[in-house]
Copies of this chain bind each other. A is one copy, B any other.
Amino acid sequence: MIIVLKEATAKQTMQTLKNHFEGTTDVFTHNNRIALNKVKPEQLTDEEKAGAEEIIMNHPAAVQGSREFHPEDTVIKLRHTTIGGDTGLTMMSGPCSVESEEHVKAMASVAKEGGATVLRGGAFKPRTSPYTFQGLGVDGLKYLREAADEQGMDMITEVMDEEHLDVVLEYTDVLQIGARNMQNFSLLKAVGKVDKPVLLKRGMSASIDDLLNAAEYIAAGGNHQIILSERGIRSFDSKYTRNLFDVSAMPVLKKLTHYPLIADPSHAEGHWDLVTPMALSAVAAGADGIVVEIHDNPEKALSDGPQALKPDTYLEMTRKAFALADTLQELNMGKEAVING
Contact surface of A with B, Cβ cutoff 8 Å? 26, 37-38, 61-62, 126-131, 160-163, 180-181, 183-187, 189, 203-205, 207-210, 213, 216-217, 220, 233-241, 244-248, 250-252, 255-256, 268-269, 272-274, 276-278, 280-286, 298, 309-310, 312-313, 316, 319-320, 323-324, 327-328, 331, 335, 337-340
Contact = CB atoms under 8 A, between A and B. Distances in A.
Contacts of A180: 183-185
A66 B190 CA distance: 36
Contacts of A241: 248, 252
A257 to B, nearest CB: 12
Contacts of A131: 26, 37-38, 61, 216, 220
Contact of A236 (B163, B236, B248, B309): B236
B273 A277 contact: no
A284 B281 contact: yes
A249 to B, nearest CB: 9
A16 to B, nearest CB: 23
Contacts of A239: 207-209
Contacts of A269: 248
A62 B208 CA distance: 30
A340 B186 contact: no
A310 to B, nearest CB: 5
Given A161-B162, A161-B186, A312 B339 contact: yes
Contacts of A337: 276-277, 316
15 contacts: A37-B131, A38-B131, A127-B185, A129-B216, A160-B185, A160-B186, A180-B185, A184-B187, A240-B252, A248-B274, A277-B286, A280-B328, A284-B324, A313-B338, A320-B331
A256 B237 CA distance: 15
A274 B254 CA distance: 10
A237 B216 CA distance: 19
Given A61-B129, A185-B160, A205 B204 contact: yes
Contacts of A256: 240
Contacts of A251: 273-274, 277-278
A35 to B, nearest CB: 10
Nearest to A256: B240
Nearest to A221: B130
Given A241-B252, A276-B337, 19 more contacts: A61-B131, A127-B185, A130-B220, A160-B185, A204-B205, A205-B205, A233-B236, A235-B236, A236-B236, A244-B248, A250-B281, A273-B340, A277-B284, A277-B286, A281-B284, A281-B285, A310-B339, A313-B340, A316-B337
